Structure 1
């Protein structure tokens, strides 16, 4: 591996982490699944593979197509906000009445499809994912010239490392979440995060 390649990979790794290591709808969901130990591997895989696809698309130049169809971004904003508000309502219900939805349900009692479909929706219905990953990351990757795909490889590695650590490392917080009150606080925070992100999406609609 040449020095230029190593620099591109390291830059992609750092830039990728800077984009995804922040509290958000996707991270909050992965964290909760990790704490519940429910379908962690499929959820982590969906998030990491989705990021990889979007990173490749961005480096390949898909970002320029989004510039030609700004209305599509608005459609995604509305759909994403509607989904986030629905998820926020469910989280708020768990926080307000924890007995109505068992927040600590055993993994065997939870179906795989709802968890996977939620991970897919939180990823692909969020226009910020396209703006950050496809447009911004794709643009930065372009500055590395022939090494741009190595930059992308570093960004993909960052995504895999982060979601794996978040999903499987969440179990280290299990002692804290033995108390029902801790789950209520977590769900209240998740509901607030979802509402804030939904409001941000709607505020960004093209006038």
Structure 2
């Protein structure tokens, strides 16, 4: 049980960093559209990847660097396209109407959340390799460590998504959305460049 707290803290330290997945959860939270779906996809995906890492599959990922290289290029292309789209939207920002049910449908939102999760090689390095390696240092208590890391993931995504949703009424000005879209665009493109540089 004592391994659960280090698992929680380690999981949070890896997931709280600004990244494509977090930026998307934040944006969906602010628009109040399909927040629960996005939070569930991201948290359950993390739980799955953490479980895979603790099960020892991290060694398999480590032994196949070509797969990570292909994933790196595909992920960088996706992030760059998403970033450019955000920068394009920043040219003509619109205010947020929290009561407006328009926007992307559930399938589109789910597909984007899945792509931002599984096309990012850092997700595999952080959750499968790093968390898996650290968890396995705890011996028989490794599953408690994994449980703590999974709890951290669920806590973070729920707080980010629904916390942003609660603040969405404040985000009604077009200028705020210009800044947000510019910020998301820059973060996505910077992440794409970082991926390409290895």
The reply to whether TM is greater than 0.5 is: yes
Residue in 1 aligned with 2:193? 199
Of the candidates 79, 85, 98, which is equivalent to residue 84 of structure 1?
Answer: 79
Residue in 1 aligned with 2:65? 70
Structure 1: give runs of 5+ residues left out of the alignment: none
Decide whether the 8 Å contact of 2:29 with 2:168 is kept in 1: no
- 1:18 aligns to 2:13 (yes or no): yes
Rounded Cα–Cα distance in structure 2 between residues aligned with 1:168 and 1:11? 25
Structure 2: give runs of 5+ residues left out of the alignment: none
- 1:133 aligns to 2:118 (yes or no): no
Rounded Cα–Cα distance in structure 1 between residues aligned with 2:17 and 2:27? 15
Give 1:104 deviation, angstroms: 5.2
Give 1:32 deviation, angstroms: 0.4
CA RMSD, 1 decimal: 1.4
Decide whether the 8 Å contact of 2:93 with 2:175 is kept in 1: no
For residues 1-207 of structure 1, the aligned pairs below 5 Å read 5=1, 7-98=2-93, 106-204=100-198
Decide whether the 8 Å contact of 1:95 with 1:188 is kept in 2: yes
Instruction: Provide, for residues 153-180 of structure 1, a one-character-per-residue CA deviation record: whole Å limited to 9, x for no partner.
Output: 0000000010001000103332431211
Give 1:23 deviation, angstroms: 1.0
Normalising by structure 1, what TM-score?
Answer: 0.91
Rounded Cα–Cα distance in structure 1 between residues aligned with 2:109 and 2:101? 11
Normalising by structure 2, what TM-score?
Answer: 0.95
SS in 1 for 2:74: helix
Decide whether the 8 Å contact of 1:39 with 1:107 is kept in 2: no
- Identify if the C-alpha distance between structure 1 residues 104 and 191 changes in structure 2 by more than 3 Å, giving closer, same or farther: farther
Rounded Cα–Cα distance in structure 2 between residues aligned with 1:24 and 1:176? 23
How many residues in Structure 1 have an aligned counterpart in Structure 2?
197
SS in 2 for 1:61: helix
Rounded Cα–Cα distance in structure 2 between residues aligned with 1:104 and 1:195? 27
Rounded Cα–Cα distance in structure 1 between residues aligned with 2:65 and 2:10? 25
Runs of 4+ in 1 over 2 A off after TM superposition: 102-110, 171-176
